[in-house]
Amino acid sequence: MRVAFGFPFGVAGFLVLGGCLATSQEILDLRGDLVRLQTSLGEQQKSQGAFQDTLKDTQSSLQTNQADLLTRMDDLIRRLEALSSQLVESDDRMTSLATRMDDLDKNTSNRLDAVLTTLQGVKSIPAPSPSRFYEAGYKEFTQRRYPQAIQIFQTYLEQYPDTDRAPKAQYTIGASWFAQKNWEEALTAYDAVLTTYPKSVQVPSALFQKGLVLEEMGKPEEAKVVYELLIKKYPHRDEIRPAKERLKILKSASPAG
């Protein structure tokens, strides 16, 4: 017999339960369940496909936004670099202009003094301009003639204490003493930079060098205070990196570290 209740024998045979043939209604119910399962599966597949499409769109959008952000950051970095270059150039021009003004002012003053002295019947030799005076001292320093450099810069500061190069002259005095390992004099010279020219660009360098001097003098705790002050007040200066390195070494070497 090939047909049972209007269905192929294979289907009817598959639905034999407990040795009895399934009723026509049971077969219909099962077929309905099968259709519903297939429909549900199709809907789930559609939902999954829609989710994957949304995920792909989101990933594509994120990648596009990230690329746009990176492009904007690169553009901003280039602008900042250009601005920094312009600022450095402007600072150099201002320094050059200030030096020329110092020279002009001091030359005018020296000439007036010479004229007055000559009128009084005393022969006078005008002092060199501030820039030539400074360059003479710096030349001695670069050639490691430190005592001569110290003498010239000390005289320079006596005659021209308010020029644009005065803070650097005082700093170089400290560097000259440092090169000769005269720690007491070096410390005094660097402190003079901090107290006499507290707004100078030489202050961060003077602070770092002061920390090194204190280390050489066997005063690591005082050196740590100086390095911490430098890091706190001047976080964007080049001296920060070596200051952090020295501070790390000192802390690791201390008993508490």
Tokens at residue 104, please?
């002009």
pLDDT of 195 reads 97
Of 27-36, 106-115, 208-217, which range is least confident? 106-115
In terms of pTM, does the model score above 0.95?
no
> Which of 51-60, 124-133, 248-257 is the most confident on average?
248-257
pLDDT of 76 reads 65
**CATH topology for the 130-253 domain:** 1.25.40
pLDDT band at 81 (very low <50, low <70, confident <90, very high): low
Other beta carbons within 10 Å of 7: 16
Q: What is the pLDDT of residues 229-242, one digit of tens each?
A: 999 999 999 999 99
Higher pLDDT, 96 or 14: 96
Other beta carbons within 10 Å of 177: 22
Of 37-51, 80-94, 152-166, 169-183, which range is least confident? 80-94
Higher pLDDT, 3 or 110: 110
Of 7-11, 57-61, 146-150, 250-254, which range is least confident? 7-11
Average pLDDT over residues 138-153: 96
Domain-wise residue ranges, the chain: 130-253
Tokens at residue 145, please?
């003639």
Cβ–Cβ under 8 Å, residues 51 and 44: no
Q: What is the pLDDT of residues 241-257, one digit of tens each?
A: 999 999 999 999 876 54
pLDDT of 214 reads 97
